[in-house]
Amino acid sequence: MLDTTPLTAAVDQFADRLRAAPQSRLQRGAAAEALALARELAARAQRLEAPDSEPREMPDAGMFAAADQITVAGRDLALVLADRVGLAEALQLVAEAQKRAGV
């Protein structure tokens, strides 16, 4: 079984930083960046779980829910990842999104 602890740790760290960020930073794009990441992680998890189905898009629940959305999507993906390449890609997505979000 693949150890996905680095992914859950990275997602948790990003979520914690979002929760601590001022509202102005969330409004300037950090929340939108987090939502985009959550949507991508969720789509990847859905493609692994049901490759014959079209992934459903995660809804926009508002800027204050963005941290929770990346946590849920990241943990869902961590549960279904089976290879190191997928893990490395997910980690890179999280790192890049966090950098763009500026948190």
CA-to-CA distance for 32 and 92, rounded, in angstroms?
18
CA-to-CA distance for 37 and 97, rounded, in angstroms?
7
Nearest to 67 by CA among 46, 25, 84, 91: 25
Dump pLDDT digits (tens) for 50-70: 999 999 999 999 999 999 999
Band (pLDDT 50/70/90 cuts) for residue 1 is: confident
Dump pLDDT digits (tens) for 5-44: 999 999 999 999 999 999 999 999 999 999 999 999 999 9
Sign of CA dihedral 26, 28, 30, 33: positive
